[in-house]
Amino acid sequence: MDDLSSLINLIPIGDIAKKIGVDENVAKAAVAVAVPAIVGGLAANAKDKDGAKSLESALGHHAGRTPKKLADIDEEDGEKIVSHVFGSKKNDVAKAAAAKADAKAEGVDIGAIVAQVLPIIAPIVLAFVANQFMGQKAEPAAKAEPAAAANPLADMLGSLVSSPQGQELIVGALGGLLGGGKK
């Protein structure tokens, strides 16, 4: 399983910075907190049987699609993804994620930048997760314990969230907003 660094490396940060009119370091900081936020939201949704089923269906539509250029990203789809993952908590999640951002730009509302970045990167995140998940499903299954086989999507997302990059953000700032972790 790849980690969040592999996912972040797929994101055209320079192009995003130009699109939203911020310094590349600010965009990088926003992406660095927005990616774990989305993955954490997906993991929270996947914990429940209906959420996992809905997410698995969405992953099927995004498998094999990894946008490499900003022009290839469907932001309308990204808005739908963000809305489905966070619901009415989108702005709260953006603010909580921004509090963890390592941005040193005076006069920049990093929360607003994170809110702008979320729908841009959401299709990339979903495609990455889809490709990881579909790849796992394609591998021959070793004898799995019944509990482990019950929700492989939640397990896979949980392993991403438990990576060093995801752990501090998800458990710390976003845990209460996403229905998990400590707060």
115-144 per-position pLDDT tens digit? 999 999 999 999 999 988 877 554 444 444
pLDDT at 162: 63
Share of the chain above pLDDT 70, in %: 73
| CB-neighbour burial class of residue 93 (10 A; exposed 0-12, middle 13-18, buried 19+) | buried
Half-sphere exposure (Cβ direction) of 46: Cα atoms closer than 13 Å: 26
Identify the helix (H) or strand (E) that includes residue 59.
helix 49-62
Q: What is the pLDDT of residue 47?
A: 86
- What tens digit of pLDDT does each residue of 93-115 get? 888 888 877 665 567 888 899 99
Which pLDDT score, from 0 to 100, does residue 1 have? Answer: 43
Residue 181 clears pLDDT 80, i.e. is over it: no
In sequence order, what are the residues at sequence separation of 6 or more whose Cβ sits closer than 8 angstroms to the Cβ of residue 88?
none
Q: Give the pLDDT score at 27.
A: 93
pLDDT of residue 110: 87
